Amino acid sequence: MDAYSSIIHNAVEAAGKSVVKIERLDANRKVSGTGSGFFFSSDGYLFTNSHVVNKGSAFNVVLHDGSIYPATLAGEDPDADIAILKASAFDFQVAQLGDVHELKIGQLVIAIGNPLGFQHTVTAGVVSALGRSLRNEHGMTIDDLIQTDTALNPGNSGGPLINYKGEVVGVNTAMIQGAQGLCFAISINTAKMIAAELMQYGKVVKGYLGVMLQQVSLVPKLRTALQLRNKSALFITGVEGNSPAAKAGLKDGDIIVSFNDSLIETADALFRQLNREKIGQFQYLKVIRSNQVLELRVTPVEKKAA
């Protein structure tokens, strides 16, 4: 086997048995939809997408060996398209969770899932971009997405995106219909934060600014001229009307470099700052605009209220 194939094979061997097929059942116990998921804890909790479990009355998980176990919904965050199921399964593999901060554009990533019912299908590609924002079919913005050209199809939703070591770096969530090579996964760092909120509070409360983002690298010349410590930052690709960001004066093309004097190099870093304690309170953002650093005052609101 050649070196490239060996890398993919070894990564799939490390993570593959943690991946399950999810069957969504209606009130008559009939399968009304399917998707993917993966175990992240030894007591049977698994990640999937909120849209995979949406309107389900009950759920089954199908393990790699074909065994079927019932599962219950432990919690979900439709805004981020993340859900957690609790399965009564045993003798399963737990996925190792990685860190999206270690990802680089161009890096090899691998998706495992059940597209169109074909169980445990493997596809490979590269990271195309980091820190993307995307509107889902309901008009809600999903933040901190990994863009890849890894082939995804209906049924891949909720499955893991893994790196060459077999560590999960994302939860596959969407592809652009009619396009080729435009697929997205939710950062595993974001998924872990959502899981912690759901398990502690039963729901997710997040601060909301109303910006569409993309992570970008800052060139050394600009960093030196503006005396910035950031190696990367968040480029604003869109500002929603009447949002906290719009009221604060943020504009398309601004680059966010800090929040309350904390460096912001990734979307994950910004969303960690936008916790429930920040809602309704003045906060300070530093942005680059026209090769100058500006400080703006913004008041986050609760995302669902917005």
SS3 28: coil
Tell me, yes or no, if 81 is annotated catalytic.
yes
C-alpha neighbours within 13 Å on the C-beta side of residue 264 = 28
Is residue 225 within 8 A of residue 291, CB to CB? The reply is yes
Tell me, yes or no, if 157 is annotated catalytic.
yes
In angstroms, the CA 195 to CA 94 distance is 16
Query: Beta strands of the chain (E only): which ranges?
Result: 19-25, 31-39, 45-48, 58-62, 68-77, 82-87, 108-113, 121-135, 141-148, 160-162, 168-175, 183-187, 207-208, 211-217, 232-239, 255-259, 262-263, 283-289, 292-298, 301-302
Question: Choosing from 18, 36, 51, 254, which is the catalytic residue?
Answer: 51
In angstroms, the CA 44 to CA 26 distance is 22
Question: Choosing from 133, 157, 232, 258, which is the catalytic residue?
Answer: 157
Cα 195 versus chain centre, distance: 12
DSSP secondary structure letter of residue 97: B
* Other CB atoms within 10 A of residue 55 CB: 10
In angstroms, the CA 93 to CA 40 distance is 9
Question: Choosing from 77, 79, 81, 143, which is the catalytic residue?
Answer: 81
Tell me, yes or no, if 9 is annotated catalytic.
no
Catalytic residues: 51, 81, 157
